[in-house]
Amino acid sequence: MAGSGLAHLRDDDDVVLSVRNLTVEYAGRGSERVFAVSDVSLDARRGETIGLVGESGCGKSSVAKAIMQLPAPTAGSVVVDGSNIVGLRASALRGHRRTLQMIFQDPISSLNPLRKVKDIIAEGLRIQGGVSKADVDKRTRDMIERVGLDPDTAPDRRPHEFSGGQCQRISIARAMILDPEIVICDEPVSALDVSVQAQIINLLEEMKQRYRLTMVFIAHDLAVVKNVSDRVVVMYLGKVCEVAGSDDLFTSPVHPYTRALIDSIPDPDPDAQVPSAVLSGDLPSPLNPPSGCRFRTSARPRRSSARPKNRRSVSCDRDISRHATSQSGWGEFPGAAIAPSSRRRQRRSGP
């Protein structure tokens, strides 16, 4: 099934986050439905960083918010440390908030402009309870210092008195104050200057090593994703195209959309050969997405419609969606690779 397989999921005790068949749909006009995320599955081991990439509108942020239950997904499961948090009541879900935290894309609008920094950071501790006021103040001050802000002047200031990079440090402190196991980073550096991006990436990496965090890292910058991720999930129009280790994905991409993304990375060499375009036409509408592989209407047709007799397979640690259609002049892309354990489930599917 295009972008809907489970073959790439790992079944071991070290998996702390398992997302299966996640579906997010929004109401449109009248009876219309927006298929933002369709049957997405991914998992993460303890201490692992999962990169989630794709162009704007592919459903990356919808996946992140659905994992956080902001709002809850239309269908599917989100298992955190063995517990499915989908459908939990607010009181029960609050207990999992300590384990699962999120850093939002816009560091300024994600902070309450009326509150002081010390109150923004300490809010999670106060909501969870069980911590004395003196301990809350001490932990807040320590966290402010740990993210690189002045613990003497920053606590009593408000967000508008800080730069974008400093506001993102405050957001990181707010997420880390509860000592979470999993942090969802929704494009945490896309709104920042290039020089500040490196500082925030280094800070996140330091936090990951210090607390042995598991991260889901969403970004447009493929170079950033390559450097920070252990495993990468490529999405297109609400579905998964390819899942692979970071090095494997960037050295030998298989799905044509993944190749198109990697070919789009600018090369500073003025004499470098520009690869031929892989994409054509407009992005299909999420109101009426194509059947089968959703990328098939945007990929360039092969010169020959004949299907390859021998298809190379990859290890079960890698999985790609099927790219096939019955239209004349189209076929499976050259060298199509399907994880062996998922071949039995291949069939065309709609949204």
Query: In sequence order, what DSSP letters do the residues of 247-302 get, joined into one string?
Result: HHHHHS--SHHHHHHHHTS--S-TTSPPPPP-B-SPPPPTTSPPSSSTTTTTBPPP
Token output for 204: 């996140």
Residue 18 DSSP SS3: strand
- pLDDT tens profile 45-71: 999 999 999 988 889 999 999 999 998
Cα-only R_g, the chain: 21
Per DSSP, helices labelled H in the chain are 60-67, 90-97, 117-128, 133-146, 164-176, 194-211, 222-228, 246-251, 256-263
- pLDDT tens profile 281-338: 677 888 888 887 788 777 654 443 334 333 333 444 456 655 433 333 333 433 333 3
- pLDDT tens profile 241-261: 999 999 999 999 998 889 888
Instruction: Average the pLDDT over 223-235 and give the result.
Output: 91
For the structural domain made of 15-236, what CATH number should be given? 3.40.50.300
pLDDT at 84: 94
For residue 193, name the pLDDT band (cuts at 50, 70, 90).
confident
Residue 66 burial class via C-beta count within 10 angstroms: exposed 0-12, middle 13-18, buried 19 and up: buried
pLDDT at 96: 87
pLDDT at 141 over 90: yes
Sign of the torsion angle spanned by Cα atoms 220, 223, 229, 234: positive
pLDDT at 277: 59
pLDDT at 305: 39
